[in-house]
Structure 1
Amino acid sequence: MNLIHVIILAIIEGITEFLPVSSTGHMIIASSVMGIAADPFVKLFTIAIQLGAILSVVFLYWRRFLQSVNFYLKLFIAFIPAAVFGVLFSKKIDALLESALTVGITLFVGGIILLFVDKWFNKPMIKEEKEISNLTAFKIGFFQCLAMIPGTSRSAATIVGGMAQKLNRTAAAEFSFFLAVPTMFAATAKKLYDFHKEGHVFTGEEIKLLAIGNIIAFIVAMLAIKTFITFLERRGFQIFGWYRIVIGAVIIGLILSGHQLQTI
């Protein structure tokens, strides 16, 4: 893995982490195309640079993170389902991360869902995070578990989950951003622990690449968040749905025609 790979993957992470298009799916495909996906450090890198992206949420919404203890309680409650499922099915999740075909299928199916989500949930009652109850937060947390299937998109799953619980687009998107903080922090910490447990030791070069990747992801993610919220309020989800369908269809088509996009 070289600096060019780092820059490309970090930009992809920053753009896609909070959009309903699957950052993990995009990085799996990108690293596979670049021929570096089988490297254990690359697999760690694609998870670890999510930390830079989620720190952009804390930076942009810092006032929300200082407002009340109840805010953190709701995030913790929403985080519980993913934490439990992550521990119980970690090996199966890791196996799915090896499959570009899984990414293609879930991108395609998720795209179809996004085409209709604005029509399905068009009578929102909750406009701000403070109106979200603990029970509603818990229900949204179960939707987040769907994102353990690569290509689903954590952002898409939690936003759709929020809208299903009568949150409007903006409130659902922002709660998805907030929930990313404990979720992605835990995922990064676990990946770093597993990397160390397997006997890997970071080289000075790898530490530098991780630092550069996180900084780039942080900057790009800030721009992406601001743009996404504005776009979402005006246009909704259909364009993201069509994007997912096209990308998913291309990936499936390439694999079925014999192209090697598998990450193993």
Structure 2
Amino acid sequence: MFIELIKSFVLGIVQGITEWLPVSSTGHMLLFDEFLQLDFPKEFTDMFFVVIQFGSILAVLVLYFDKLNPFSAKKSPAEKKSTWTLWKKVIIGCIPAGVIGILFDDLIHDLLYGPLVIAIALIVYGILFIVLESTHHTPTTTSLESLSYRKALLIGVFQTLSLIPGTSRSGSTILGAVFLGCARPVAAEFSFFLAIPVMLGASGLKVLKYGLNYTAAQVGVMIVGMVTAFVVSLFCIRFLMNYIRKHDFKVFGWYRIVLGIVVLLYFGLFAS
């Protein structure tokens, strides 16, 4: 049991870091799962990888509580209205991925979840990040308030690409937002907020599919993973927001390419 808790702790660290950086949490989890396989049924492990994301979501809610809270007594009526408008944009942005995810979740999992697809997605999106950042562009959307409903929906369309494993949810939404003319801080924050309903919904669906018949050991493993992901996410989100105010996303693009090659080599040479 102690070993499983240690594994959960490590996986929580990986989740907390890779969920918010545009480097694909799925790709990292695939590699770490090769060496840190949880000693539980596969159905529980699949659910665990999704449910520990709840810890990451709590970090967003804590860090951005004031910005996301439309009921705050500190806010003026105009500020409360602006907060409700932000939530409307988030909901609109979640519709495409929500619909596609509900309709085709099992099919996507059965057909696309494999090292080859993940590696290709890592490399392709890594190249796209480098190409996009090498192209001069002046942001036209420099605040969440100026983000239009149309642009929010289009960013949501980009988010559907994250259903392909290895793409990265934050990677697809940030890349899409920057491509659509959003400043990097706006792209990153809106990506964080889009994660709230999407990841809560995904976690809920996995729990419902698995059921509520957990052993004490399984509950302990999930709690350790979620708490770890929460704490690590707090630091990771702050790091990313500070980083992108002075730097671009090229380093993440190169990292994705290297990781994609590692995945190809490992699973081609050693795990076949």
Q: TM-score, normalised by structure 2?
A: 0.90
Report the aligned-residue RMSD: 1.7
Q: Matched residues in 2 for 1:109 and 1:209: separation? A: 34
Q: Deviations over 1:207-248 (max 9, x none)?
A: 121111111100000100111111112121111111111110
Distance 1:187 1:121, change over 3 A: farther
Say whether 1:180 aligns with 2:183.
Answer: no
Deviating above 3 A after TM superposition, structure 1's stretches of 4 or more consecutive aligned residues are 35-38
Between the aligned partners of 1:82 and 1:54, the Cα distance in structure 2 is 17
Letter in 2 for 1:41: F
| 1:25 partner letter | G
The alignment covers a number of residue pairs equal to 257
Match of 2:57 in 1: 54
**Aligned AA for 1:208?**
G
Query: How far, CA to CA, are the matches of 1:40 and 1:133 in structure 2?
Result: 40
The equivalent residue for 2:31 is 29
Pick the aligned partner of 2:208 from 183, 193, 210. 193
Moved more, 146-155 or 248-257: 248-257
97 and 60 in structure 1: CA distance in 2 versus 1, 3 angstrom threshold: farther
* Aligned counterpart for 1:169 among listed residues 169, 184, 195: 184
- Describe the SS at the equivalent of 2:191: helix
Secondary structure, counterpart of 1:159 in structure 2: helix
**Residues 121, 166 of structure 1: 8 Å contact kept:** no
Counting only pairs closer than 5 Å after superposition, residues 82-231 of structure 1 correspond to structure 2 as 82-96=97-111, 98-120=113-135, 122-196=137-211, 201-231=213-243
Any stretches of 5+ residues in structure 2 without a counterpart?
70-79
How far did 1:191 drift? 0.7
Which of 15, 19, 26 aligns to 2:21? It is 19
Structure 1 gaps, min length 5: none
What is the TM-score normalised by the length of structure 1?
Answer: 0.92
Identity of paired residues, percent?
36
User: What is residue 73 of structure 2 aligned with on the other side?
Assistant: none
